[in-house]
Structure 1
Amino acid sequence: MKKQFILFALLSVTLISCGSDNSEGNGMPGFGAFGGPGQRTTSVETSDIQIGNIAEQVRSYGNVKAQNVVSVLPQVSNRITNLYVDLGDTVRQGQTLAKIYDVTFRDQLAQARSQLEQSRIAVKRDSAEYVRQQTLMERDLTSESELEIAEAAYQSSLSQFEAARASLTQAQENFNNTEVKSPVNGVVVSRALEEGDLASTGTELFQIASTNGYESRIYLPVQDWRAVEIGQEVNLRVSNESDISARGVVSRKSPQLDATTGLGEVVITLTSTGNSIYPGVLVENVINITTKNEVMIVPRSALVEQVETVINPETNTIDLERTYSVFVSKGDSVAERRPLELGIEQGERIEVLSGLLPSDKIIVTGQSGLEDGSRISVATGERFRTPEERQISTEGDAPNGNNAMGGQNPLANMSEEERADAREKMQGMSQEERRAFLRELRQDQSVNSDSTSN
């Protein structure tokens, strides 16, 4: 029993000595706080809260295509003798795209004209006979049967004339169709045949994309599809570009989801386009669902996430509850944790609904190891830059311009161009080489100063 008492006394003395104020001097947390924040100071970087506009967005990729793509089909069948356009050519309505061998159709047209002329002569002849028979009938010089025969011949000639005229119209149409013409203004996006190939009716020869407008079709999951409405503004960006390439609006929306994929189709009509927009290009469509103005915005990188595991006894499942907070600098010396209520997320920008004041300074670098009440030291951005980003400084420079090793800083007496040139030369030097270089500069300046004074 006596040994246990002595052991307890020694342990108490050890705890008391460890809980003394020596922790402030050596940077180790003290046991005297019993779980409170340590005395170690953490260097952090702070930033003001941004006040601006933020939008809830739906993003999806789709290809730009012409609103109307017209298939050009030959109306007559024969060999192609000439092609006047190729892929990518811009054509106007009525422009000749190809020529089909027309000798047969020219002969048919000539034959139809000849038949029409013969029919016209026959009508003129039978018409005169019919009028003569009517005159004779009035004088009782012919019979009823003769008059009926003359009338029948006249009506037959009229029918043949109409048939010949229709044949001529068809022959003329076939001959005209030996020149394949564009039905719209647009761009040739497909060509199926070459010169010498046999063109037949019903076989596509060209595809022409109308230049009246472009559109982009995207397919969204049910949550995003439900949020999209007709008339919402859309920004489009080509996948390899950083700036907006085009603008548009949601013009059409499928009333149902695809049974196989579960996605809903949304059609975006482009209202303005840049030089990088053309049929087939892949673009990212950014649809603004909800926009809020003059709200508090923090970067996602400043958030500290806390995840708690919650067991649901009813369903016997484990749920994860996530909460977010940021650290605020108080007097540039203490970090204060602020739980947040978040709103709209737009990329790396997140709206804060509650938990912050516009005048707060949030910690954006070094917050991962902090606790509520931790001691901090607010540093400038220079301390958080990589060595490659920092400006090369003179080894041993003191704030007053004098070298810590003694003597005037030689760069202080140089012009900006000379100073930049000297720093560039020191880029690849070691510390010893840099000291020797500065010493040589100091000696040269001293010699020049002495010669000037003499």
Structure 2
Amino acid sequence: MRKISAAATVYSLILILSGCSGNQSAPDGPRSGNMSQRATSVEVIDISREPINRQIRSYGNVRAQENVTVVPQVSERVSSIHADLGDTVQAGQLLARLRDVTFADQVRRDQAQLEQARIALERDSTSFARSRELYTRELVSSAEFDNARSTWLNSRANYESVSASLTQSRENLANAEIRSPVRGVVTRRNISPGDLASGGQPAFELANLVGYEVRLFVPLQDRRRLRIGQVSDIRVSGEREYSAEGVVARISPELDPVTGLSEIVITITGHDNSLFPGALTEVHTTVETRSSAIVIPRVALVENVQTLIDPESNTIRLERTFSAFVTHGDSIAVRRDLELGIEQGDRIEVISGLNDGERLIITGQTGIENESKIRVSGMQRGARPGTVPDTATGNRQTE
């Protein structure tokens, strides 16, 4: 029985040693797997330095720098229209005509009354002059002299009143013709034949299309970065290409108490034919420029999100960090943690984590880890970050 026990003990010892040997060789498994893993196909670009701008994006409508609202000076029915939407008009050109029968009749009545007042004034002036001469010779009483003088003063006041009434009547008759005060283009017509045009109600709106501007409303944090003379790139909303350039011309000194926004006026300095009044535009104003920065395309970034729980406040927050992969030789991918700076569209400044001359992986990086085997299948030499083909995003996956 002792021999059998000894044999069993030896056999158990062999099994234990064999198990230990297996446990010691386990860590080498993944290494051999990594050595034999299949290389991931990637594309790379050379990392270099280039300018990048920090820009403020905002939206606003284009408007002519000179806008004029034409308001009738008298109230009457519209007789005829002589200018329509889109017409170019000169200063003084007839836009519309109102019915002028009433005004013409009033002019004729005032002219007749003025003639009567003139005759009366001449008669009373002659009588007063004669009475004054007789009074100096003491041939008439002071009461007769005062009566002649009072009659003359009343006649003169009546003549001046009727003359002022005639001037107003003639002005009303002239105002029955609505004329353009400036040279410009008709951007709106608010009246039609038969309508009752009245003072205070705009009849036409005109714009001088020589100069344009865009009015923006920005929050306080953006206003603090804006300065007079900063350059803006402008494009009509929905279009891919910029169609105009401008500069910051005016900055409101106050914020709207309701919205908390500040008004900014961008004067357009150059534009193509796609720009027109009323168009909604997207404005990118440059507030900071880095002349030599490491800039990479956004598609090269790998986002890492960690969920952090604060046991004291019992709150959860997400912490986002970013990394990218560069090549070590042409066969190994090396992960780099990044500190990011200015973002301009699809281009991002890297403050730390990458160096000039390294090769940055721009496709395939979401499927690899640090020191993964790679195979460079393509390289874009001299390509600007942000000009990566759309196919580069086809392999992106969520980690």
* TM-score, normalised via structure 2 length: 0.83
- 2:183 is aligned, of 177, 182, 185, to 185
Provide the aligned C-alpha RMSD in A: 3.1
Larger mean CA deviation between 32-41 and 231-240 belongs to: 32-41
Whether 2:378 is the aligned partner of 1:351: answer no
Aligned to 2:5: none
Decide whether aligned partners of structure 1 residues 262 and 135 sit closer, same or farther in structure 2, where only a CA change above 3 A counts.
closer
| Counterpart Cα distance in 1 of 2:365 and 2:230 | 39
Tell me the percent identity: 46
Larger mean CA deviation between 337-346 and 364-373 belongs to: 364-373
- 2:377 is aligned, of 358, 379, 387, to 379
Matching of residues 78-227 of structure 1 within 5 Å? 78-211=76-209, 213-227=211-225
Deviation string 1:98-127 (CA, Å, 9 cap, x unpaired) is 001112211211222222222222222222
Q: Please give the secondary structure, in 1, of the residue aligned with 2:116.
A: helix
Q: Please give the secondary structure, in 2, of the residue aligned with 1:379.
A: strand
Q: Aligned letter for 1:199? A: A
Decide whether aligned partners of structure 1 residues 217 and 32 sit closer, same or farther in structure 2, where only a CA change above 3 A counts.
closer
Aligned to 2:303: 305
Tell me if structure 2 keeps the 8 A contact 1:56–1:288: yes
Tell me if structure 2 keeps the 8 A contact 1:252–1:268: no
Aligned to 2:338: 340
Deviation string 1:10-33 (CA, Å, 9 cap, x unpaired) is 5566678888xxxxxxxxxx6163
| Counterpart Cα distance in 2 of 1:347 and 1:9 | 62
Aligned to 1:286: 284
Task: Kindly state the Cα deviation for residue 61 of structure 1 after the two structures are TM-superposed.
Answer: 2.5
Q: Please give the secondary structure, in 2, of the residue aligned with 1:123.
A: helix
| Counterpart Cα distance in 1 of 2:120 and 2:389 | 103
Task: Kindly state the Cα deviation for residue 257 of structure 1 after the two structures are TM-superposed.
Answer: 4.8
Q: Please give the secondary structure, in 2, of the residue aligned with 1:211.
A: strand
Q: Aligned letter for 2:334? A: E
Tell me if structure 1 keeps the 8 A contact 2:48–2:357: no
Task: Kindly state the Cα deviation for residue 45 of structure 1 after the two structures are TM-superposed.
Answer: 1.8
Aligned to 2:72: 74
Aligned to 2:251: 252
Tell me if structure 2 keeps the 8 A contact 1:234–1:247: yes
Q: Please give the secondary structure, in 2, of the residue aligned with 1:318.
A: strand
Aligned to 1:397: none
Q: Please give the secondary structure, in 2, of the residue aligned with 1:373.
A: coil
Decide whether aligned partners of structure 1 residues 198 and 322 sit closer, same or farther in structure 2, where only a CA change above 3 A counts.
closer
- 2:318 is aligned, of 317, 320, 327, to 320
| Counterpart Cα distance in 2 of 1:301 and 1:98 | 60
| Counterpart Cα distance in 2 of 1:58 and 1:172 | 56
Task: Kindly state the Cα deviation for residue 358 of structure 1 after the two structures are TM-superposed.
Answer: 1.4
Q: Please give the secondary structure, in 2, of the residue aligned with 1:172.
A: helix
Tell me if structure 1 keeps the 8 A contact 2:44–2:379: no
Decide whether aligned partners of structure 1 residues 37 and 186 sit closer, same or farther in structure 2, where only a CA change above 3 A counts.
farther
- 1:241 is aligned, of 227, 239, 251, to 239
Deviation string 1:394-448 (CA, Å, 9 cap, x unpaired) is xxxxxxxxxxxxxxxxxxxxxxxxxxxxxxxxxxxxxxxxxxxxxxxxxxxxxxx
Decide whether aligned partners of structure 1 residues 151 and 37 sit closer, same or farther in structure 2, where only a CA change above 3 A counts.
farther
Q: Please give the secondary structure, in 2, of the residue aligned with 1:184.
A: coil
Tell me if structure 2 keeps the 8 A contact 1:91–1:185: yes
Count of matched residue pairs: 375
Whether 2:261 is the aligned partner of 1:268: answer no
Deviation string 1:122-165 (CA, Å, 9 cap, x unpaired) is 22222222221222223332222222222112111211111121
Q: Aligned letter for 2:321? A: T
Aligned to 1:51: 49
| Counterpart Cα distance in 2 of 1:65 and 1:37 | 66
Decide whether aligned partners of structure 1 residues 11 and 365 sit closer, same or farther in structure 2, where only a CA change above 3 A counts.
farther
Deviation string 1:291-348 (CA, Å, 9 cap, x unpaired) is 1112111111112222233333443323332222222222223222222221101111
Aligned to 2:383: none
Q: Aligned letter for 1:121? A: I
Q: Aligned letter for 2:246? A: G
Tell me if structure 2 keeps the 8 A contact 1:42–1:376: yes
Higher RCO structure, 1 or 2 (CA under 8 Å, sep 6+): 2
Tell me if structure 2 keeps the 8 A contact 1:258–1:264: no
Structure 1: unaligned runs, 5 residues or longer: 20-29, 388-454
| Counterpart Cα distance in 1 of 2:69 and 2:15 | 98
| Counterpart Cα distance in 2 of 1:247 and 1:32 | 58
Q: Aligned letter for 1:96? A: L
Decide whether aligned partners of structure 1 residues 37 and 368 sit closer, same or farther in structure 2, where only a CA change above 3 A counts.
farther
Tell me if structure 2 keeps the 8 A contact 1:185–1:211: no
